[in-house]
Amino acid sequence: MDTKTFKRTLQHSENYNRKGFGHQAEVATQLQSEYQSSLIQEIRDRNYTLQRGDVTIRLAQAFGFCWGVERAVAMAYETRKHFPTERIWITNEIIHNPSVNQRMQEMQVGFIPVEAGKKDFSVVANNDVVILPAFGASVQEMQLLSEKGCKIVDTTCPWVSKVWNTVEKHKKGEYTSIIHGKYKHEETVATSSFAGKYLIVLNLQEAQYVADYILNGGNREEFLQKFVKACSAGFDPDKDLERVGIANQTTMLKGETEQIGKLFEHIMLQKYGPMELNKHFQSFNTICDATQERQDAMLELVQENVDLMIVIGGFNSSNTTQLQQISEERGLPSYHIDIVERIKSRDAIEHRQLNGELVTTKNWLPAGEIVVGVTSGASTPDKVVEDVIERIFALKATSPVL
Ligand code: SF4
């Protein structure tokens, strides 16, 4: 399929909207009351610090809702207002946050059901309204919805669209897109659907494996087995790695994406020399500002004297996981939670580890004076952060006196 032409045609169709419906002002008031927090505003105004009793909260200087997420949620609310009686669907969670997704359900916005790992679009009828989430949808899904005659409301973040344009450029120049991301993540699934040949690498270690193969060759079968779910159909490592371009899932660790880009640039330079480099390597800056700001703020926060970190965000939120990774790498006690209810008591907190396991840690809240670092992922409303901070204050206020 000519994905570029398809997308252009879709964007000119009368069934397609990516600009909203003119209800911004009403929706802004509603979002303010549902997701904003006066406590968080107060902490921001006090130089991101608040002390109550034994607890000092240190908030990261950048955290929470990014503008891409705010825009997507606002468009979903607008869609409901604009189509008060129509059936509305979302192809996936609008963003990776349980409380926002719960609100969508309360507003009678349905999620496309998933049967045995596959989305069942048979529930969607002609003239239904379908919202594409902030991290986008695959070109095949868009095509299917367009053929069904649905009204498509596209909330894909422009930063994600920028990555799609990048892989289109790779395809045009016959470069293989090396995508730094998670092959199962919806954004990467969508990005790879716009790519020609592609290979998805999770981290620097996998990138190094590919780089070694480019330079020295290796075991072809082992390579194909390793990337069986993370490459385009018919991928041939002996032919398809001669010309590569770099792309990324927008929420990966920015430093790692940069390192991966440098690694491939260096390898191509070594193999083909400076005069030929541009024929074999392409890189555009597609790291999202919001991800970068949140990661930079976290890197600053972990250098302060915090006793523990609380990282708040959906368990399937990639950018939240990256924040947790920064904290763990620093060796801090760090708890990734999605909702305040994970804090069971002063003595027990349920949290997600980097390996995805949900565990309960006992005696997580130290006695006496403590400094708690707090941050949240790009899809977490301030209201959730407020609930967590209030819970910590309340638990410490009832601590037995030592
Ligand atoms: S994290 Fe970046 S790419 Fe993702 S929705 Fe927010 S602004 Fe867009």
pLDDT digits (tens, 9 = 90+) for 117-140: 889 999 999 999 999 999 999 999
How far, in Å, is the centroid of ligand 1 from the Cα of 364?
32
The average pLDDT across 95-103 equals 85
Are the C-beta atoms of residues 90 and 111 closer than 8 Å to each other? yes
pLDDT of amino acid 400: 62
Are the C-beta atoms of residues 252 and 290 closer than 8 Å to each other? no
Q: What residues contact residue 31 under an 8 Å CB cut-off, 6+ apart? A: 70, 73, 74, 77
Q: Whose CA is nearest to atom 3 of ligand 1?
A: 159
Query: Binding site for isopentenyl diphosphate: what residues are annotated?
Result: 96, 185, 317-319, 379
- How far is the C-alpha of 207 from the C-alpha of 203, rounded, in Å? 6
Best residue for ligand 1 mutational test, from 249, 291, 322 (most atoms within 8 Å of Cβ) = 291
The average pLDDT across 80-90 equals 96
How many residues make up the chain in this entry?
Answer: 402
pLDDT digits (tens, 9 = 90+) for 245-265: 999 999 888 889 999 999 999
pLDDT of amino acid 289: 83
Paired tokens of 65: 């809702």
Residues facing residue 57 across a β-bridge = 50, 372
Best residue for ligand 1 mutational test, from 155, 159, 252 (most atoms within 8 Å of Cβ) = 159
Give the atom of ligand 1 at the shortest distance from the alpha carbon of 378.
Answer: 1
pLDDT of amino acid 284: 84
pLDDT band of 95, cuts 50, 70, 90: confident
pLDDT band of 176, cuts 50, 70, 90: very high
- For the chain, the farthest-separated pair of C-alpha atoms sits apart, in whole angstroms, at 71
The average pLDDT across 93-117 equals 88
- Which residues are tagged catalytic? 187
pLDDT exceeds cutoff 70 at 369: yes
How far, in Å, is the centroid of ligand 1 from the Cα of 291?
7
Residue ranges around ligand 1 (CB below 6 Å): 66-69, 134, 157, 159-160, 250-251, 288, 290-291, 319, 378
* CA atoms lying within 13 Å on the CB side of residue 96: 22
pLDDT band of 401, cuts 50, 70, 90: low
Question: Across all residues in the chain, what is the average pLDDT?
Answer: 94
The average pLDDT across 13-17 equals 95
- How far is the C-alpha of 54 from the C-alpha of 75, rounded, in Å? 42
pLDDT exceeds cutoff 80 at 366: yes
> What is the share, in percent, of the chain residues with pLDDT greater than 90?
87
pLDDT of amino acid 172: 96
Are the C-beta atoms of residues 164 and 194 closer than 8 Å to each other? yes
The residue behind tokens 């130089």 is 47
Q: What is the pTM of this model?
A: 0.89
pLDDT of amino acid 292: 87
pLDDT of amino acid 96: 80
pLDDT digits (tens, 9 = 90+) for 315-351: 988 889 999 999 999 999 999 999 999 999 999 999 9
pLDDT of amino acid 332: 95
Are the C-beta atoms of residues 329 and 89 closer than 8 Å to each other? no
pLDDT exceeds cutoff 80 at 402: no
Q: Whose CA is nearest to atom 7 of ligand 1?
A: 68
- How far is the C-alpha of 44 from the C-alpha of 63, rounded, in Å? 11
Paired tokens of 129: 């309204």
- How far is the C-alpha of 320 from the C-alpha of 344, rounded, in Å? 21
pLDDT of amino acid 99: 84
Are the C-beta atoms of residues 49 and 389 closer than 8 Å to each other? no
Paired tokens of 139: 């070109």
Best residue for ligand 1 mutational test, from 97, 160, 289 (most atoms within 8 Å of Cβ) = 160
Residues facing residue 55 across a β-bridge = 52, 370
pLDDT of amino acid 217: 96
The average pLDDT across 102-108 equals 92
Query: Binding site: what residues are annotated?
Result: 66, 96, 157, 185, 250, 288, 317-319, 379
